[in-house]
Amino acid sequence: MLDRVLIHLRKHKRLYIVGSLAAVAGFVWYTRSNLRVSITATASGSQSIAAGKNVMMYKVNYITADRQGPPSWVVRCKETGDVFTSQRSAALNMELPQNLLSEHLNGRRPDVAGNHFERLCLAA
């Protein structure tokens, strides 16, 4: 009996693979089209003391994004106080090269066109 099942699976292997991929693609399409989230980011600053040092803490009230995809970093410009739901939106709105903003946030550049940015949290 087991031999008959194995022979059948080998014979129809491609059909099972294609069917499985189609099922996964359909599930992903269905969940993405029905699970839309509306996002708005707001932040307010407060000071706290941690381990004897002054540390600036930012409370994020709520974060939502009107987009699909993986989580992105919420970014704040220290000079203007503007909060952006992604590094890309910060770069586009402030007319900065995205790669230079990423290098700055990763600590490889001191600033980007005289502006300083910080990551606040991840937005889903």
The more confident residue out of 45 and 99 is: 99
Rounded to two decimals, what is the model's pTM? 0.47
Mean pLDDT of 41-63: 45
Shared domain for 11 and 55, answered yes or no, is no
Shared domain for 54 and 111, answered yes or no, is yes
Shared domain for 49 and 30, answered yes or no, is no
Mean pLDDT of the chain: 75
d(CA 44, CA 75): 13
Mean pLDDT of 98-121: 90
Mean pLDDT of 87-99: 90
What per-residue string of b and e applies to 79-105 under the rule 16 or more CB within 10 Å gives b?
Answer: eeeebbbbbebbbeebebeeeebbebb
CATH of residue 101: 1.10.10
Alpha carbon separation from 114 to 6, 33, 80, 86, 102 (Å, rounded): 66, 40, 12, 20, 15
Shared domain for 16 and 77, answered yes or no, is no
Shared domain for 55 and 85, answered yes or no, is yes
Residue 67 burial (10 A CB sphere; 0-12, 13-18, 19+) = middle
Shared domain for 57 and 6, answered yes or no, is no
Number of domains, the chain: 2
* Domain residue limits at 26: 2-34
Shared domain for 108 and 72, answered yes or no, is yes
